[in-house]
Structure 1
Amino acid sequence: MTAEAREAGAPEDPAADGLRPLDIALLTYKGNPFCGGQGVYVRHLSRELARLGHRVEVIGAQPYPVLDEGYDGLSLTELPSLDLYRQPDPFRTPGRGEYRDWIDALEVATMWTGGFPEPLTFSLRARRHLRARRGAFDVVHDNQTLGYGLLGDVGAPLVTTIHHPITVDRQLELDAADSRQRRWSVRRWYAFTRMQKRVARRLPSVLTVSGTSRQEIVDHLGVRQDRIHVVHIGADTDLFSPDPSVPVVPGRIVTTSSADVPLKGLVYLVEALAKVRAEHPGAHLVVVGKRPAEGPVAQAMERYGLEGAVDFVKGISDAELVDLVRSAQVACVPSLYEGFSLPAAEAMATGTPLLATTGGAIPEVAGRDGETCLAVPPGDSGALAAGLGRLLGDPDLRARLGAAGRERVLRHFTWARAAEGTVARYREAIERAGGGRDTADHRTTRPASGGPATARGAASPAPGGPATTGAASVAPGGPAAATDGAAQGSVPAAAGAPAGAGPSARVGSAGAGSPLSASSAGAGSPAPTAATGPVSPAPADVTGVNSESRATC
């Protein structure tokens, strides 16, 4: 149905569940689907929600999400930040003309002092935007921003996804820090987790991706169990599927990992490769991720003479990624911890046999050892080497595990199932809030249906105010104006921040200005190393979906 027909009051076709279609605001403060799990989640969930008959407006900051084409009611609104971590000038200092309001000043000040500002500053811009469009949405779905700006009234019932607590990544980074300076730097970078903990405790409805993550949200963030609901995410089983025409390369092992993130456990897989090559000299590893210039992985490759046996690829397309996984004799997930593990589900969906650790929620995805995968303890290079040796030497075992793995994914872990479960939680949240929005129809603020669209100029102007190009304009009277009551200083200071202080029509390609990639959704990437100005790479996407990053930027 077109926007014009809805405005005229024409009856709507029901959604797939037989009820009225919902208008959904899906928030993502980083949305690159090639460099961080947050973008992968938003891309696939938004598509499946649209397939179910709902209208989804993704509201995101740089790097902007990429949405799939051809779905009615699926659109993007760009809500720009200052994009401080973009390439080729990460940790840049914006020009004077780039500052629009006090939120921009807060963003820069937090970066200058070694913190990560984006969860807080995006939440403040999102609140202003949503309040200016009150009545446009039935539900607001936040993808782990967990910023102060999303507390209180955002114009519709709020549902929040927490993939896993970023405090887990923080602790792993601290454990791997080798100096007092490094530990200080990690603590400062992850200071935003104190804000996320305070916000999480006040959320009415939390979705998470696994039972393991559910318990950790209780333990680490103090959220009540009755407010947390598990909705498994999944693989794109149409894309990630077996294809016998793709030749399997003897000895090939594939993993998706970021070399500089301790959580990913890549160093243990490199050590395992060195051991298994004594028995299988043709064994070699292809890492979907950035080649490390230094650090434990680079040192291990040099120590064991593996320079010609380990390749790194990045910037590949989805189709290229699928064919790479299909071509492997073994897919491996060596992580010390995962909140879900999309790489495991995707590898299994292609029919490639999986060797995975038991870190975090990986067993919930991969299944039982010997039935749908081979499972080994995390952080054990000897166990990884034994598992690799078994799989490389036993074609019947590979065939059996590959077939059983795909069947498991088809039964339990698809994006269609994820969307259905998410809609059920939306409707529960709407019912708790009193049954829905006002009868006055504000949908004229949405793009007409007929495919992805972009609403540039993130925030709608306040009544009587000027139109804006960007997050918001500074109203007369000072930087605190035009913020819907969020006057400077009225929002709790970001953890560690100074006190007082949508894809567009470019569907199919990443938003311009991708930040440094190293990794996984950011958690676990190197933190800044100085209080007066960060000098080392920042997380590509600090979201808590870090376990699911493709690391292909």
Structure 2
Amino acid sequence: MDRSVDVGEPSRPTEFSTTAAAEPTGLSASSPVSTTGPTLCIDGYNIAMTKGTGIATYGRNLLSTVRGMGYDTQVIYGPPRKRSKRPLLNETALVDAERPRKNRRIARYLQTLTSRNGVKAWPVTPSGEVFWPTRAGGRPQASSFWAAHDLFFRANRSFSAYRKETPVDFDVEGGRRPDIMHWTATLPLHARGVPNVYTIHDLIPLRLPHTTLDDKPAYFALCRAIARRADHIAVVSETTRQDVIRMLGVSEDRVTNTYQAVHLPSSLTSRPDAEVATELEGIFDLGWKDYFLHFGAIEPKKNLGRIVEAYLASGCTTPLVVVGGRAWLDEPETALMNQVLADKGPSAERIRRYEYLPFSMLVSLIRGARATLFPSLYEGFGLPVLESMALGTAVLTSTGGSLPEVAGDAAISVDPYDVPAMSRGLRALEQDEALRLDLEARGRIQAAKFSVEAYRARLADLYAKVGA
């Protein structure tokens, strides 16, 4: 059954964002891990951020999945504090809220200049004494960690200045060198002596340059450097796979599409609907399946400006809830919404905005929504669509980027530039209860195609290609 709404002319190419509005999906590390299988290490560049990002979610889900495959897991961090003789202080440095002291100019110059020669990472073994911040996702599912002073900061500075990547050496005294290094983002780093896999989530700065603030020549140079150096490249959709092959000149046999999977804690998904409904009414004064929801960082590719325009033009009385913090170039996206809220007229009562919510609360909001609105301009994957379908919520999405791969025929799909089409989709979701229930059922079936088991099989194929 075709659920697409009249889309008019084909949409223009757009962009993918990996910034989430709330805590990353994933579990904290509390269960024992295997130490007999191969060891996989990922970077903690996004995982270390105090608020979740889509790439942090990706990294946490990756750790959880490969643990289930028998891998031992590690994370490498780049704390601003140098190595201490006291192991406990090395661990606290990974999650310390203390503001780092700025390096003096000469020291910073020397650090940037010498970064190309390599940095040494030291092992950090969890003591069980340090409490990790749960609002940022808790301790990653890893048995041990590595740390290298200012690793990501100095590597990025070095590449920006000299177009040179930073090698990483593992000080194996007291630690176990990983059998494979999986960089979860485009970083100017590579591990010496082990296979290096890089995930490229999208090429949005090149496809939709007007939607990001990246230095485009530097970004292109970094992507090309990764394409040359990588033992293998992982992507999360066929859309991105074809972009990488075509735009970076990578041979097809060096790029593997693994897609993604959703890891939703059973403690949240198994809660009775009635309990969640009571929570939503008590906290937000929202009824069960009686509001539209948009969540994600506010930036151009998320298309919030058109969502609000379409919602106001639709005449729908179902409230619109927007959850998302400011990212970049957000002013045009929020201008209409902010004006409506400032006027405090009748339309203002229909829109609710929250900058940040804990992950557990966001899951409740997704479960209780009449529909998730995610007509993004372009996505490398589109995790909010998959999360919503898995939680039994109808979805209105777009024809941009990889979103048709994720949504299949289980969502209303519109041209992301066609505001009237969005308005028609909103009215259909508000007025047609049978349509909503059908989309919910189809969504659960579609979400099952991105199961953990399928993800494990794709990852096993990926790592087999680099001999791990």
Give the alignment's TM-score, normalised by structure 1: 0.59
Secondary structure of residue in 1 paired with 2:297: coil
Match among 429, 441, 444 for residue 391 of structure 1: 429
- 1:491 paired residue number: none
Task: Spell out the pairing of 1:483-502 with structure 2 (5 A cutoff).
Answer: none
Partners of 1:200 and 1:285 lie apart in 2 by 40
Q: Select the residue among 244, 248, 251 that pairs with 2:273.
A: 244
Distance 1:250 1:161, change over 3 A: closer
Code of the aligned partner of 1:145: T
Match status 1:58 vs 2:85:
no
Q: What's 1:426 paired with? A: 463
Distance 1:146 1:293, change over 3 A: closer
Q: Note closer, same or farther for the CA distance 1:78–1:103 as it changes in structure 2 (3 Å cut).
A: farther
Partner of 1:7: none
Please give the alpha-carbon distance, in whole angstroms, between the structure 2 residues aligned to 1:415 and 1:120: 37
> What amino acid is aligned across from residue 42 of structure 1 in structure 2?
G
1:125 positional shift: 5.7
Distance of aligned partners of 1:250 and 1:144 in 2 relative to their CA distance in 1, 3 Å threshold: closer
Q: Tell me the CA shift for residue 356 of structure 1.
A: 0.3
Q: Note closer, same or farther for the CA distance 1:297–1:251 as it changes in structure 2 (3 Å cut).
A: farther
How far the C-alpha of 1:416 sits from its partner, in A, is 4.5
The aligned residue for residue 234 of structure 1 is 261
Unmatched 5+ stretches in structure 1: 1-13, 64-76, 178-185, 432-553
- Report the counterpart of residue 512 of structure 1 in structure 2: none
Contact 1:331-1:355 within 8 A present in 2 as well: yes
Seen in structure 2, the aligned counterparts of structure 1 residues 126 and 145 have a Cα distance that, compared at 3 Å, is: farther
Distance in 2 (CA, whole Å) between partners of 1:427 and 1:106 is 31
- Aligned Cα RMSD in Å? 4.1
3-state SS, counterpart of residue 429 of structure 1: coil
Q: Distance between the aligned counterparts of 1:291 and 1:160, measured in 2?
A: 24
Say yes or no: does 1:366 pair with 2:393: no
* Secondary structure at the counterpart of residue 430 of structure 1: coil
- CA positional deviation for 1:397: 1.1
Q: Equivalents in 2 of 1:378, 1:155: separation in Å?
A: 45
Matches of 1:427 and 1:416 in 2, distance apart? 17
Cα distance in 2 between the residues matched to 1:154 and 1:55? 19
Q: Distance in 2 between matches of 1:299 and 1:171?
A: 25
Offset, 1:210 = 0.8
Partners of 2:171 and 2:244 in 1: CA distance: 27
Distance 1:78 1:337, change over 3 A: farther
Match of 2:111 in 1: 102
1:263 Cα deviation from its structure 2 partner: 1.1
- Closer, same or farther: CA 200–87 of 1 in aligned 2, 3 Å: farther
Runs of 5+ consecutive residues of structure 2 not aligned to the other structure? 1-32, 81-89, 117-149, 278-286
| CA spacing shift, 1:335–1:190, aligned 2, 3 Å | farther
Please tell me whether the aligned partners of residues 354 and 373 of structure 1 are also in contact (alpha carbons under 8 angstroms).
yes
Structure 1 residue 301 corresponds to structure 2 residue 337: yes
Is the Cα–Cα contact under 8 Å of residues 24 and 55 in structure 1 kept in the other structure?
Answer: yes
AA at the equivalent of 2:451: T
Aligned ranges for residues 267-346 of structure 1 at < 5 Å?
267-276=305-314, 278=315, 280-290=316-326, 295-302=331-338, 306-346=347-387
Secondary structure (helix, strand or coil) at the match of 1:127 reads strand
Partner of 1:378: 416
- The alpha-carbon deviation at position 156 of structure 1 amounts to 1.2
Aligned to 1:253: 292
Q: Is the alpha carbon distance of 1:139 and 1:330 closer, same or farther for their aligned partners in structure 2, counting shifts above 3 Å? A: same
Inter-partner Cα distance in structure 2 for 1:139 and 1:360: 30
Report the Cα distance in structure 2 between the residues aligned to 1:350 and 1:377, rounded to whole angstroms.
25
8 Å CA contact 2:388–2:394 kept in 1: the answer is: yes
Confirm or deny that 1:413 pairs with 2:440: no
State the partner residue of 1:355. 396
Measured after TM superposition, the shift of residue 158 of structure 1 is 1.8
Tell me if structure 1 keeps the 8 A contact 2:305–2:335.
no
SS of the residue corresponding to residue 208 of structure 2 reads helix
Which of 59, 63, 70 is equivalent to 1:42? 59
Aligned positions, number = 374
Question: How far, CA to CA, are the matches of 1:111 and 1:30 in structure 2?
Answer: 12
Encode CA deviations 1:37-59: one digit per residue, 9 max, x unaligned. 12111111112212222101111
Q: Which residue of 2 aligns with 1:548?
A: none
CA shift, 1:230, in A, is: 1.0
Paired AA for residue 30 in structure 1: N
Quick one: distance in 1 between partners of 2:99 and 2:419? 36
**2:465 alignment partner, SS class:** helix
**Partner residue in 2 for 1:200:** 227
The answer to whether the 8 Å contact 1:352/1:402 transfers is: yes
**Which of residues 189, 196, 208 in structure 2 aligns to 1:172?**
208
* Aligned-partner Cα distance in 2 for 1:162–1:78: 29
Aligned mate of 1:404, from 421, 437, 442: 442
Q: 1:219 aligns with which of 246, 256, 274?
A: 246
Deviates more, 1:396-405 or 1:416-425: 416-425
CA distance in 2, matches of 1:388, 1:105: 56
Contact kept? 2:47, 2:59, Cα under 8 Å? yes
Q: Deviations over 1:358-393 (max 9, x none)?
A: 11000111112xxx1111112221111111110111
TM-fit CA distance, 1:420: 3.7
Give percent identity, aligned residues only.
25
3-state SS of 2:66 partner: helix
Q: Secondary structure in 2 aligned to 1:159?
A: strand
Q: Secondary structure at the match of 1:340?
A: coil
- The SS at the match of 1:140 is strand
Deviation digits for residues 197-246 of structure 1 (CA, Å, limit 9, x no counterpart): 23213423111111111001112222111111111111124457474223
Distance 1:139 1:88, change over 3 A: closer
SS of the aligned residue for 1:128 comes to strand
TM-score, reference length from structure 2: 0.68
Q: Please tell me the residue identity of whatever aligns with 2:179.
A: D
Instruction: Assess, with a 3 A threshold, how the Cα gap between structure 1 residues 22 and 422 changes in structure 2: closer, same or farther.
Output: same
Confirm or deny: 8 A CA contact 1:272 1:385 kept in the other structure: yes
Counterpart-to-counterpart distance in 1, 2:111 and 2:311: 51
What is the CA-CA distance between 1:265 and the residue it aligns to?
0.8
State the SS of the aligned residue for 1:192: helix
**Larger RCO (CA within 8 A; separation ≥ 6):** 1
1:163/1:208 contact within 8 Å kept: yes
Cα distance in 1 for partners of 2:354, 2:297 equals 11
Q: Tell me the distance in 2 between the aligned counterparts of 1:291 and 1:138.
A: 36
